[in-house]
Amino acid sequence: MQQTRAKDYSIFTILLVLAIAFLSPIFIVLMNSFKGKFYISDTPFLFPNGTTFVGLKNYTSGIAKIDFFSAFGMSLFITVCSVAVIVLFTSMTAWYITRVKSKFTNLMYYAFVFSMIVPFQMVMFTMTKTANVLHLDNPIGIILIYLGFGSGLSVFMFSGFVKSIPLEVEEAVMIDGCNPPQAFFKVVLPILKPIAVTVAILNVMWVWNDFLLPDLLIGTEYKTIPIAIQYLKGGYGSIDMGAMMAMLVLAIVPIIIFYLTCQKYIIEGVVAGAVKG
Protein backbone atom coordinates (compact mmCIF):
# COMPACT_ATOMS: atom_id res chain seq x y z
CA MET A 1 0.00 0.00 0.00
CA GLN A 2 2.76 2.43 0.94
CA GLN A 3 4.69 1.52 -2.20
CA THR A 4 1.61 2.27 -4.30
CA ARG A 5 1.17 5.66 -2.63
CA ALA A 6 4.84 6.47 -3.07
CA LYS A 7 4.58 5.57 -6.74
CA ASP A 8 1.48 7.74 -7.13
CA TYR A 9 3.22 10.67 -5.44
CA SER A 10 6.24 10.23 -7.69
CA ILE A 11 4.09 10.22 -10.82
CA PHE A 12 2.16 13.26 -9.57
CA THR A 13 5.40 15.13 -8.85
CA ILE A 14 6.82 14.35 -12.29
CA LEU A 15 3.61 15.44 -14.02
CA LEU A 16 3.46 18.59 -11.91
CA VAL A 17 7.02 19.52 -12.85
CA LEU A 18 6.27 18.89 -16.53
CA ALA A 19 3.09 20.98 -16.33
CA ILE A 20 4.99 23.87 -14.79
CA ALA A 21 7.72 23.57 -17.42
CA PHE A 22 5.22 23.66 -20.28
CA LEU A 23 3.00 26.39 -18.84
CA SER A 24 5.76 28.72 -17.61
CA PRO A 25 6.54 30.19 -21.08
CA ILE A 26 2.88 31.16 -21.51
CA PHE A 27 2.81 32.69 -18.04
CA ILE A 28 6.01 34.65 -18.72
CA VAL A 29 4.57 36.03 -21.97
CA LEU A 30 1.34 37.03 -20.18
CA MET A 31 3.27 38.65 -17.34
CA ASN A 32 5.51 40.64 -19.66
CA SER A 33 2.60 41.82 -21.78
CA PHE A 34 1.77 44.27 -18.98
CA LYS A 35 5.31 45.70 -18.69
CA GLY A 36 6.88 48.62 -20.46
CA LYS A 37 8.95 47.55 -23.45
CA PHE A 38 12.15 48.93 -21.90
CA TYR A 39 11.80 46.75 -18.81
CA ILE A 40 11.06 43.39 -20.41
CA SER A 41 14.66 42.62 -21.38
CA ASP A 42 16.01 43.73 -18.00
CA THR A 43 13.49 41.96 -15.73
CA PRO A 44 11.74 39.27 -17.82
CA PHE A 45 11.02 36.98 -14.85
CA LEU A 46 9.75 39.58 -12.37
CA PHE A 47 6.12 40.54 -11.83
CA PRO A 48 5.07 44.00 -13.03
CA ASN A 49 5.31 46.63 -10.32
CA GLY A 50 4.53 50.31 -9.99
CA THR A 51 7.42 51.24 -12.25
CA THR A 52 7.14 48.58 -14.96
CA PHE A 53 3.35 48.15 -15.10
CA VAL A 54 1.72 49.89 -18.09
CA GLY A 55 -1.76 48.39 -17.98
CA LEU A 56 -3.33 47.73 -21.39
CA LYS A 57 -1.04 50.11 -23.28
CA ASN A 58 0.83 47.28 -25.00
CA TYR A 59 -2.45 45.75 -26.14
CA THR A 60 -3.89 48.95 -27.57
CA SER A 61 -0.66 49.93 -29.33
CA GLY A 62 -0.13 46.43 -30.72
CA ILE A 63 -3.69 46.22 -32.06
CA ALA A 64 -3.25 49.57 -33.81
CA LYS A 65 0.22 48.83 -35.23
CA ILE A 66 -0.55 45.50 -36.89
CA ASP A 67 -4.28 45.99 -37.60
CA PHE A 68 -4.91 43.00 -35.35
CA PHE A 69 -8.62 42.54 -36.03
CA SER A 70 -8.06 42.33 -39.78
CA ALA A 71 -5.32 39.73 -39.26
CA PHE A 72 -7.53 37.91 -36.75
CA GLY A 73 -10.36 37.75 -39.29
CA MET A 74 -8.04 36.40 -41.98
CA SER A 75 -6.61 33.75 -39.64
CA LEU A 76 -10.10 32.78 -38.50
CA PHE A 77 -11.37 32.45 -42.07
CA ILE A 78 -8.42 30.34 -43.24
CA THR A 79 -8.42 28.16 -40.13
CA VAL A 80 -12.16 27.44 -40.04
CA CYS A 81 -12.43 26.75 -43.76
CA SER A 82 -9.25 24.66 -43.89
CA VAL A 83 -10.20 22.51 -40.92
CA ALA A 84 -13.77 22.02 -42.19
CA VAL A 85 -12.47 20.92 -45.59
CA ILE A 86 -9.86 18.63 -44.03
CA VAL A 87 -12.34 16.92 -41.71
CA LEU A 88 -14.99 16.46 -44.41
CA PHE A 89 -12.84 15.19 -47.26
CA THR A 90 -10.38 13.09 -45.25
CA SER A 91 -13.19 11.34 -43.37
CA MET A 92 -14.83 10.41 -46.67
CA THR A 93 -11.50 9.28 -48.08
CA ALA A 94 -10.71 7.16 -45.03
CA TRP A 95 -14.16 5.56 -45.18
CA TYR A 96 -13.73 4.72 -48.87
CA ILE A 97 -10.24 3.23 -48.66
CA THR A 98 -11.20 1.24 -45.54
CA ARG A 99 -14.41 -0.22 -46.92
CA VAL A 100 -13.31 -0.75 -50.54
CA LYS A 101 -10.52 -3.31 -50.53
CA SER A 102 -8.39 -3.16 -53.69
CA LYS A 103 -4.83 -2.53 -54.78
CA PHE A 104 -5.77 1.04 -55.64
CA THR A 105 -7.14 1.83 -52.17
CA ASN A 106 -4.13 0.16 -50.53
CA LEU A 107 -1.86 2.32 -52.66
CA MET A 108 -3.85 5.40 -51.68
CA TYR A 109 -3.57 4.56 -47.99
CA TYR A 110 0.20 4.09 -48.10
CA ALA A 111 0.55 7.27 -50.16
CA PHE A 112 -1.21 9.21 -47.39
CA VAL A 113 0.95 7.54 -44.74
CA PHE A 114 4.11 8.30 -46.72
CA SER A 115 3.13 11.97 -46.98
CA MET A 116 3.34 12.20 -43.19
CA ILE A 117 7.08 11.57 -43.18
CA VAL A 118 8.03 13.95 -46.01
CA PRO A 119 9.47 17.17 -44.51
CA PHE A 120 7.74 20.33 -45.67
CA GLN A 121 11.09 21.92 -46.51
CA MET A 122 11.63 19.33 -49.25
CA VAL A 123 8.58 20.42 -51.21
CA MET A 124 8.05 24.06 -50.27
CA PHE A 125 9.79 25.56 -53.29
CA THR A 126 8.06 23.34 -55.86
CA MET A 127 4.78 23.80 -53.97
CA THR A 128 5.16 27.58 -54.07
CA LYS A 129 5.83 27.55 -57.81
CA THR A 130 2.94 25.19 -58.50
CA ALA A 131 0.57 27.28 -56.37
CA ASN A 132 1.65 30.40 -58.25
CA VAL A 133 1.06 28.80 -61.65
CA LEU A 134 -2.37 27.47 -60.60
CA HIS A 135 -3.29 30.81 -58.95
CA LEU A 136 -3.61 29.25 -55.52
CA ASP A 137 -1.57 31.99 -53.83
CA ASN A 138 -4.62 33.58 -52.20
CA PRO A 139 -6.81 32.92 -49.13
CA ILE A 140 -9.01 30.46 -51.04
CA GLY A 141 -6.11 28.62 -52.66
CA ILE A 142 -4.23 28.19 -49.40
CA ILE A 143 -7.21 26.25 -48.04
CA LEU A 144 -6.62 23.62 -50.74
CA ILE A 145 -2.91 23.58 -49.89
CA TYR A 146 -3.71 22.97 -46.23
CA LEU A 147 -6.02 20.15 -47.30
CA GLY A 148 -3.12 18.51 -49.11
CA PHE A 149 -0.65 18.84 -46.25
CA GLY A 150 -3.16 17.92 -43.54
CA SER A 151 -4.65 14.90 -45.27
CA GLY A 152 -1.91 12.40 -44.37
CA LEU A 153 -2.34 12.33 -40.60
CA SER A 154 -6.08 12.93 -40.82
CA VAL A 155 -6.73 9.99 -43.17
CA PHE A 156 -4.51 7.78 -41.02
CA MET A 157 -6.48 8.63 -37.86
CA PHE A 158 -9.89 8.36 -39.51
CA SER A 159 -8.98 5.01 -41.09
CA GLY A 160 -8.16 3.50 -37.72
CA PHE A 161 -11.48 4.64 -36.32
CA VAL A 162 -13.55 3.53 -39.33
CA LYS A 163 -12.22 -0.02 -38.89
CA SER A 164 -13.90 -0.11 -35.46
CA ILE A 165 -17.35 0.58 -36.92
CA PRO A 166 -19.27 -2.67 -37.58
CA LEU A 167 -19.94 -3.12 -41.26
CA GLU A 168 -23.37 -4.51 -40.41
CA VAL A 169 -24.52 -1.03 -39.37
CA GLU A 170 -23.90 0.33 -42.86
CA GLU A 171 -25.38 -2.73 -44.52
CA ALA A 172 -28.56 -2.32 -42.46
CA VAL A 173 -29.17 1.27 -43.54
CA MET A 174 -28.46 0.40 -47.17
CA ILE A 175 -31.04 -2.38 -46.97
CA ASP A 176 -33.47 0.28 -45.72
CA GLY A 177 -32.88 2.25 -48.92
CA CYS A 178 -29.90 4.52 -48.23
CA ASN A 179 -27.26 4.92 -50.90
CA PRO A 180 -23.54 5.10 -49.92
CA PRO A 181 -23.41 8.92 -49.53
CA GLN A 182 -26.53 8.85 -47.34
CA ALA A 183 -25.11 5.99 -45.28
CA PHE A 184 -21.93 7.97 -44.70
CA PHE A 185 -23.53 11.28 -43.72
CA LYS A 186 -26.43 9.85 -41.71
CA VAL A 187 -24.71 6.95 -39.97
CA VAL A 188 -20.92 6.89 -40.31
CA LEU A 189 -20.13 10.58 -39.85
CA PRO A 190 -22.02 10.92 -36.53
CA ILE A 191 -20.16 7.86 -35.23
CA LEU A 192 -16.88 9.53 -36.25
CA LYS A 193 -17.55 12.54 -34.03
CA PRO A 194 -14.86 11.80 -31.37
CA ILE A 195 -12.06 11.29 -33.90
CA ALA A 196 -13.38 14.15 -36.06
CA VAL A 197 -13.07 16.54 -33.11
CA THR A 198 -9.57 15.21 -32.40
CA VAL A 199 -8.52 15.75 -36.01
CA ALA A 200 -10.09 19.22 -35.93
CA ILE A 201 -8.21 20.22 -32.77
CA LEU A 202 -4.86 19.07 -34.12
CA ASN A 203 -5.37 20.88 -37.42
CA VAL A 204 -6.73 24.05 -35.80
CA MET A 205 -3.60 24.36 -33.66
CA TRP A 206 -1.43 23.77 -36.73
CA VAL A 207 -3.19 26.10 -39.17
CA TRP A 208 -3.81 28.91 -36.66
CA ASN A 209 -0.16 29.05 -35.58
CA ASP A 210 1.38 28.37 -38.99
CA PHE A 211 3.74 31.06 -40.24
CA LEU A 212 5.76 29.53 -43.08
CA LEU A 213 2.99 28.45 -45.46
CA PRO A 214 1.03 31.74 -45.40
CA ASP A 215 4.30 33.64 -45.67
CA LEU A 216 5.27 31.67 -48.79
CA LEU A 217 1.88 31.76 -50.49
CA ILE A 218 -0.05 34.90 -49.56
CA GLY A 219 2.74 37.00 -48.03
CA THR A 220 1.88 40.48 -46.81
CA GLU A 221 -1.16 41.04 -49.01
CA TYR A 222 -3.37 38.91 -46.75
CA LYS A 223 -1.74 38.95 -43.34
CA THR A 224 -2.56 36.26 -40.80
CA ILE A 225 -1.76 36.82 -37.12
CA PRO A 226 1.70 35.13 -37.14
CA ILE A 227 2.71 37.23 -40.15
CA ALA A 228 1.25 40.44 -38.73
CA ILE A 229 3.13 40.03 -35.44
CA GLN A 230 6.41 40.00 -37.35
CA TYR A 231 5.73 43.62 -38.36
CA LEU A 232 6.39 44.70 -34.79
CA LYS A 233 10.05 44.37 -35.68
CA GLY A 234 11.51 47.73 -36.58
CA GLY A 235 14.64 48.76 -38.40
CA TYR A 236 18.10 47.68 -37.26
CA GLY A 237 16.67 44.78 -35.27
CA SER A 238 14.56 46.87 -32.90
CA ILE A 239 11.47 45.12 -31.57
CA ASP A 240 8.54 46.50 -29.61
CA MET A 241 8.65 43.65 -27.09
CA GLY A 242 5.71 44.93 -25.06
CA ALA A 243 3.34 45.04 -28.02
CA MET A 244 4.67 41.72 -29.29
CA MET A 245 4.02 40.00 -25.95
CA ALA A 246 0.51 41.45 -25.87
CA MET A 247 -0.26 40.27 -29.42
CA LEU A 248 1.10 36.81 -28.65
CA VAL A 249 -1.32 36.59 -25.72
CA LEU A 250 -4.25 37.62 -27.93
CA ALA A 251 -3.13 35.10 -30.54
CA ILE A 252 -3.04 32.13 -28.17
CA VAL A 253 -6.22 32.90 -26.22
CA PRO A 254 -8.66 31.66 -28.94
CA ILE A 255 -6.73 28.43 -29.47
CA ILE A 256 -6.60 27.75 -25.72
CA ILE A 257 -10.35 28.33 -25.39
CA PHE A 258 -11.03 26.02 -28.34
CA TYR A 259 -8.70 23.36 -26.94
CA LEU A 260 -10.21 23.45 -23.44
CA THR A 261 -13.71 23.24 -24.91
CA CYS A 262 -12.95 20.17 -27.03
CA GLN A 263 -10.12 18.48 -25.14
CA LYS A 264 -12.36 15.75 -23.68
CA TYR A 265 -12.56 14.20 -27.15
CA ILE A 266 -8.79 14.01 -27.74
CA ILE A 267 -7.91 10.93 -25.68
CA GLU A 268 -11.17 9.23 -26.63
CA GLY A 269 -10.56 9.76 -30.32
CA VAL A 270 -6.86 8.95 -30.37
CA VAL A 271 -7.23 5.77 -28.28
CA ALA A 272 -10.18 4.55 -30.31
CA GLY A 273 -8.40 5.19 -33.59
CA ALA A 274 -5.12 3.62 -32.48
CA VAL A 275 -6.31 0.62 -30.48
CA LYS A 276 -9.47 -0.40 -32.31
CA GLY A 277 -7.84 0.14 -35.69
Domain layout of the chain by residue ranges: 1-54, 68-275
Q: Which CATH class is domain 68-275?
A: mainly alpha
Residue range 219-225: mean pLDDT, rounded: 82
Predicted model pTM: 0.84
pLDDT for residue 273 = 47
pLDDT for residue 144 = 92
pLDDT for residue 277 = 42
Report the candidate in 265, 261, 248 with the shortest Cα–Cα distance to residue 198. Answer: 265
pLDDT digits 0-9 by tens, 21-30? 988 888 988 8
For 12, other C-beta atoms within 10 Å of its C-beta total: 10
| CA 239 – CA 62 distance, rounded (Å) | 12
